[in-house]
A = this chain, B = another copy of it.
Amino acid sequence: MEYRFSNYVERLQSSAVRDILKLTQGKEIISFAGGLPAEELFPIDAVREAADRVFRSGKNTLQYGLTEGFMPLREQLCARMAQKGMHVQPDEMIMTTGSQQAIDLITRVLMEPGDIVLVENPTYLASLQVFNLSGLDVVPVASDKDGMIIAEAERLIKQHKPRLIYVVPTFGNPTGRVWSMERRKGLLELSHRYGVPILEDDPYGDIKFDINADYPTLFSLEGKADGGNVLYTSTFSKTVAPALRTGWAIGSRNVISMMAKAKQAADLHSSSLDQQTLDQLLRHFSLDDHIQVIRQAYGDRMQQMQKLLSQQGWSDVKWIEPKGGMFLWLELPEGLDAEALLRAAVKKNVAFVPGSSFYAAEPARNTARLNFTYTQGERMATGISRFAEALNEFLARR
């Protein structure tokens, strides 16, 4: 038969990142495209031991679990959140299949087709997919190196009456930028003045290169979960491993409870084997020490990539040194189309993500996102030299 699809899913573009990942699987391509953590740093022995402890604790560990998530893990996570100034109770938290599902569930409980969401420009690609799948209208807010421009946000709030503001204030994807304190407070103030909730997506906050730097979350500035304006989500995908697909959301009790209702319908609960394994991991393994190892390694790799790019001596290729996270955001010469550059690059066996994927409206086509966490050493040098070869051919033609 001829299937007729929902208009929302018809409009949905397949993620360029995921499609490139598929194309490059098993090939000799060096990829700076995916947002992949360094595999050699995965604490696999600790995870194996944690899983083993779960299995040995009894057969009932394999039974159905609570929709809200495994309670002992939520309790441990609340204690970790408190160390970062985020004070929250287990019933103000829900475990999700990655933080991606938290974005989807929050969208489903707060919004209906035709509603408006405000986002940074550019912003996280897969959040745009969630908003499109739910039939929302996405309005990008002009943003610079310090975050959303607050006056612009206010103008657009007045104009569009959005139901949600979605932001990644710390080491955003794709730009790697860190919002200034002024912008953080400014957005929070707008949220209160106009009664618009904020969804703060924070997958990268732990991966800061300067251990003494302090970037308070909007959630901690808001100062309360229940009745507060900020819904916050994070994940173990970058600090432990993505395969365990475990994220969480915290926020006002009534929102969390609505998310649980939606999640009952969406998938009943996330893998409880994964959640119990993470619970055991947190009890017998210093995740904070491990995060320190990741910070150091990723900081080194970012420096290596920066150095390799600098050595090319391009005068009109620009970037801001990331203070954390996983990505370097390049501004290429005006007029250069990064999607065409990608096609040329893939022929030379190197991949990245053209920046155009990350814009809700008119894209800056001369931008590119390079991941610096998945490759290192010789392999990174070879990859950047292939990338440079492709880019130099483009520049020579101008």
Residues of A within 8 A of B (CB): 1-9, 12, 14-15, 18, 21-22, 34, 36-37, 39-40, 42, 44, 47-48, 51-52, 55-56, 59-67, 96-98, 100-101, 104, 108-113, 126, 129-130, 132-133, 135, 163, 191-192, 195, 197, 227-229, 237, 241-245, 252, 254-255, 258, 260-262, 264-274, 276-277
Is the beta-carbon distance between A271 and B274 smaller than 8 angstroms?
yes
Question: How far apart are the CA atoms of A6 and B56 in the complex, in Å?
Answer: 43
Given contacts A3-B197, A63-B242, contact A104 B274 (CB under 8 A): no
Is the beta-carbon distance between A112 and B44 smaller than 8 angstroms?
no
**Distance from A6 Cβ to chain B, minimum over Cβ atoms (Å):** 5
Is the beta-carbon distance between A36 and B48 smaller than 8 angstroms?
no
Is the beta-carbon distance between A261 and B62 smaller than 8 angstroms?
no
Given contacts A97-B97, A271-B274, contact A1 B229 (CB under 8 A): yes
Question: How far apart are the CA atoms of A241 and B47 in the complex, in Å?
Answer: 20
Which residues from B are CB-within-8-Å of A132?
A: 265
Which single member of B9, B62, B65, B112 contacts A109 (CB below 8 Å)? Answer: B9
Given contacts A254-B3, A266-B104, contact A63 B51 (CB under 8 A): no
Name the prevailing secondary structure of the A interface residues: helix
Question: How far apart are the CA atoms of A108 and B260 in the complex, in Å?
Answer: 18
Which residues from B are CB-within-8-Å of A100?
A: 265-268
Is the beta-carbon distance between B270 and A273 smaller than 8 angstroms?
no
Is the beta-carbon distance between A271 and B270 smaller than 8 angstroms?
yes
Residue in chain B with minimal CB distance to A67:
B18
Is the beta-carbon distance between A12 and B262 smaller than 8 angstroms?
yes
Residue in chain B with minimal CB distance to A244:
B273
Which residues from B are CB-within-8-Å of A129?
A: 261, 264-265
Question: How far apart are the CA atoms of A276 and B39 in the complex, in Å?
Answer: 17
Residue in chain B with minimal CB distance to A14:
B261
Which single member of B55, B97, B112 contacts A7 (CB below 8 Å)? Answer: B112
Nearest 7 pairs of A and B residues by beta carbon: A62-B241, A48-B55, A97-B267, A129-B265, A271-B271, A101-B267, A62-B243
Is the beta-carbon distance between A36 and B18 smaller than 8 angstroms?
no
Which single member of B55, B98, B255, B262 contacts A47 (CB below 8 Å)? Answer: B55
Is the beta-carbon distance between A98 and B267 smaller than 8 angstroms?
yes
Beyond the given pairs A21-B64, A271-B274, A274-B274, 13 more chain A to chain B contacts, judged by CB atoms under 8 angstroms and listed by A's residue number, are: A1-B191, A1-B192, A2-B195, A4-B163, A6-B111, A15-B264, A42-B63, A61-B243, A63-B241, A63-B243, A100-B267, A112-B113, A133-B265
